Chains A and B, each alone.
Chain A
Amino acid sequence: MEFVIEMNNIRKEFPGIVANNNITLQVKKGEIHALLGENGAGKSTLMNVLFGLYQPEKGEIKVKGKTVKITDPNVANELGIGMVHQHFMLVQNFSVTENIILGSEPTKNGSINIKLAANEIAELSKKYGLAVDPYAKIEDISVGMQQRVEILKTLYRGADILIFDEPTAALTPQEIKELIQILKRLINEGKSIILITHKLKEIMEVCDRCTVIRKGEGIGTVNVADTNEEQLAALMVGREVNFSVDKVDATPGKDVLVINNLTVHDARNIPSVVGLDLTVKAGEILGIAGVDGNGQTELIEAITGLRKAKSGSIKLNGKELINHSARKITEAGIGHIPQDRHKHGLVLDFSVGENIVLQSYYKQPFSKFGILNFNKIFEQAKKLIKEYDVRTPSEYTPARALSGGNQQKAIIAREVDRSPDFLIAAQPTRGLDVGAIEFIHSKLVEERDKGRAVLLVSFELDEVMNLSDRIAVIYEGKIVDIVDPKTTNEQELGLLMAGGKREREGVS
């Protein structure tokens, strides 16, 4: 049996945690090998060990049968290992060519020979079907093309073992299809691929074998042909998981949030929400499906007062709120679980308690005459920590010290406890493990059942389909259609998200 990569009994520690314990991964030549695990299971750590960014404490690595020590990415490159990172490792204001040749630039009389490099890149991109513009700047090209640049970086260095770290996370359904074609083409050209993912469907579709790790421990390797999604899920989580969300049918009430003809410009002053109409009713979860960058962020920012809208109307229970201050909007009864919990949701250096009162610190009982009442603040924090099962040493612990799931729980506790009439949940489960995802989903359904209006924005189509009572599809800043999750399917949504039209009549 020929293995191109053998990682045997790898152990990697960080201060306080063992990220990888006794993990073995063996990749055959010419296969697509999945590395499956939940967020935080240790997949990226293992791959960073293989790529030379980390040194393991124990274990051995063999590449093409030879025992090697991969001390830095240069060594990995020389061994033919290339990595396509989840967060693209691209310099935004460099050109495609400059990014690809960085570190191994062809020169002529001491200066970089850009022309030669660009030609080489054009050739490579033809050979592998990776369309890129060698002279374009990274900041001006699409996410899909950026990923192709990442792949070209590895090919330019002659890699024949490619690691893909969650490559579909930022892609549209169409782009995912294209990527799968690219992967197959790479295999045909004699490359071997390691695909890091937590998406079972993708594994079933393209992979030959799958190694599962859970909480830093190696669980084992299975042939994909001999297994199914349920089994893989059970291996990954360690128990039976039911990905569908338990909920009864919604009983929608009156209109809570009504948006009319809303137009919002983005940071570069380009219209990104264009004449958008949307209504969310009491007692329903309205999911917004769409590819990242179609105006979701600006829509949320306009509703919550974080970005000025150009025109239109946003009414909550009949009261006009457009371009009011964030504080007024919060007080009017809008809760917001933000997309990026580290950037917007929490002050990481504040204690959990201080974060719990982040929007209400100036109100009684948390303060009086401008003087804070810490007893009351931490009392409230203690109460919510218990109710929402936030695992933290204490309410005085800095939010930074909590795990992602518990940070998100703290935010949800804060937002839901204010019992807002309208709750926005933007990417509420991004990067969380299955347990936390289940908890958050059940909380959102619970709020719906209490009669609140919930707006769910997520780039995970499964989540939108499982959780929503209605799905609004956003494309280029407009709601192009509203569909019933019970009667739609992924193909139809994918088409709508890409700007296509539905054949039958709209449901809304």
Chain B
Amino acid sequence: MDFLAILSIIIPAALYTGAPLILTALGGVFSERSGVVNIGLEGLMVFGAFSSILTTLYIQDMVGPASPWIGILIAGIASGIFSLLHAVASVTLRADQTVSGVAINFLALGLAIFLIKKIFNKGQTDFIDYRINKINIPILSDIPIIGKMFFSMVPVTSFLAIIVAFIVWYIIYKTPFGLRLRSVGEHPMAADTMGINVARMRYTGVIISGVFAGLGGGVFATSISGNFSAGTISGQGFLALAAMIFGKWHPLGALGAALFFGLAQSLSVIGGQIPFIQDFPNVILTIIPYVLTILALAGFVGRAEAPKANGVPYIKGKR
């Protein structure tokens, strides 16, 4: 098997598993840039996956192949609403944001399974009839070599996620909203004296992170797992969190890291097809993303600086 053939296995696989991570990591960027630590991304993804599958199951007979797309949208909305809990606790009630994130993770899974049991009388849902399909992108997939590598047999969601990452970059670095969001995460009191409503900006940041994580969970469920159970989302939210940090809280950094983690994750699945890698014990491939994240954090890829006021509740009038 030659090198190009290996790439044409690896790259689509990375794009495939990377999409949910990209979206969720971008959500993390919004929340943490506004100064709210969000380790509840996992739970928000869970809630998104749950909502998308439930929606798809309910409407697939009526809408057909469009149903998973509607499912993903509903997932974004549902997780956006769900993330309000984290916003209320972190911003209004000045809770420890890590703790509140932990609670979000518990609550999302508990609530989702509780409802699944209530509705289906069993611990998991049925499989959805229509998934987000892998397609060949017209024209682009005909380009020699590259076409096969990047544009064949990949879900559209992967490309959408990449485009969204660039849009997020534009929003955060080029628009007034982005400037205000970042100012609130760096020096909320300065922002306050400039007439920016710190609490409102932080709520916005958290809710957008909920929407994005919900979309990420929805994409995962409708393109990869196809149903929902307690084990559907198992660590992807934390991987996305890691990707956000690995990407230094920058949308494009997060994009790169999420794709890289997607690759590492897919290696443990497709590694068997690839010479050299197939000689590795599977467990090593499985833990590679986690080990790499730790190494990255230890400074082997340069210092990552969190927004200065990340995790610090803002109390008016207190220096």
Contact = CB atoms under 8 A, between A and B. Distances in A.
A contacts B directly (C-beta below 8 A)? yes
Interface stretch (B45-53, B174-182, B222-230): B174-182
B319 A87 contact: yes
Contact of A110 (B175, B193, B195, B316): B175
A153 B176 contact: no
Contacts of B195: 72-74, 77, 103-104
A102 B183 contact: yes
Interface in B292-314: 308
A83 interface: yes
B193 A53 contact: yes
A54 B317 CA distance: 8
Nearest to A90: B190
A103 B175 CA distance: 11
Nearest to B186: A91
Contacts of B183: 91, 94, 102
A327 to B, nearest CB: 28
Interface in A90-128: 90-94, 98-99, 101-105, 107, 110-112
A184 interface: no
A103 B191 contact: yes
Nearest to B189: A89
Contacts of A74: 195
B192 A111 contact: no
Given A89-B190, A94-B183, A102 B196 contact: yes
Contacts of B186: 91-94
B174 A112 contact: yes
Contacts of B175: 107, 110-112
Contacts of B191: 91, 102-103
A107 B179 contact: no
A98 to B, nearest CB: 6
Contacts of B179: 94, 98, 101-102, 105, 112
A366 interface: no
Contact of B180 (A93, A102, A110): A102
B170 interface: yes
B187 A105 contact: no
B93 interface: no
Contacts of A89: 187, 189-190, 193-194
Nearest to A48: B317
B7 to A, nearest CB: 37
B194 A73 contact: yes
B196 A103 contact: yes
Contacts of B176: 105, 107, 112
Q: What size tier do the contact residues of chain A reach?
A: 20 to 34
A282 to B, nearest CB: 40
Q: What size tier do the contact residues of chain B reach?
A: 20 to 34
A103 B316 contact: no
Nearest to A85: B193
**Which residue, of B175, B180, B192, B193, has the highest number of chain A Cβ atoms within 10 A?**
B193
A340 B189 CA distance: 21
Contacts of A53: 192-193, 316-317
A459 interface: no
A51 interface: yes
Contacts of A111: 170, 174-175
Nearest to B175: A111
Interface string A220-257: 00000000000000000000000000000000000000
A154 B190 CA distance: 13
A90 B187 contact: yes
Contacts of A98: 179
Contacts of A103: 180, 191, 194-196
A51 B193 CA distance: 8
Interface in A60-98: 72-74, 77, 83, 85, 87, 89-94, 98
Contacts of A83: 193
Interface in A28-73: 48, 51, 53-54, 72-73
Contacts of B308: 92
A102 B196 CA distance: 8
Given A53-B316, A87-B319, A111-B175, A73 B192 contact: yes
**Which residue, of A48, A54, A91, has the highest number of chain B Cβ atoms within 10 A?**
A91
A91 B187 contact: yes
Contacts of A112: 174-176, 179
Contacts of B193: 51, 53, 73, 83, 85, 89
B138 to A, nearest CB: 31
Interface in B265-319: 308, 316-317, 319
A102 B316 contact: no
B194 A102 contact: yes
Nearest to A76: B195
A87 B191 CA distance: 14
Contacts of A85: 193
Contacts of B316: 53
Contacts of B180: 102-103
Contacts of A107: 175-176
Contacts of A51: 193
A91 B190 contact: yes
Contact of A92 (B174, B187, B319): B187
Contacts of A104: 194-195
A54 B192 CA distance: 12
A153 B182 CA distance: 18
A54 to B, nearest CB: 6
A64 B187 CA distance: 32
Contacts of B190: 89-91, 99, 102
Interface in B33-70: none
Interface in B130-181: 170, 174-176, 179-180
Closest 6 CB pairs of A and B: A103-B194, A74-B195, A89-B190, A105-B176, A111-B174, A91-B187
Interface of A: 48, 51, 53-54, 72-74, 77, 83, 85, 87, 89-94, 98-99, 101-105, 107, 110-112, 153
22 contacts: A72-B195, A73-B193, A73-B194, A74-B195, A83-B193, A89-B194, A90-B190, A91-B183, A92-B186, A92-B187, A92-B308, A98-B179, A99-B190, A102-B179, A102-B180, A102-B190, A103-B180, A103-B191, A103-B195, A107-B175, A110-B175, A112-B174
Given A51-B193, A102-B196, 5 more contacts: A72-B195, A102-B179, A105-B179, A107-B175, A112-B179
Interface of B: 170, 174-176, 179-180, 182-183, 186-187, 189-196, 308, 316-317, 319
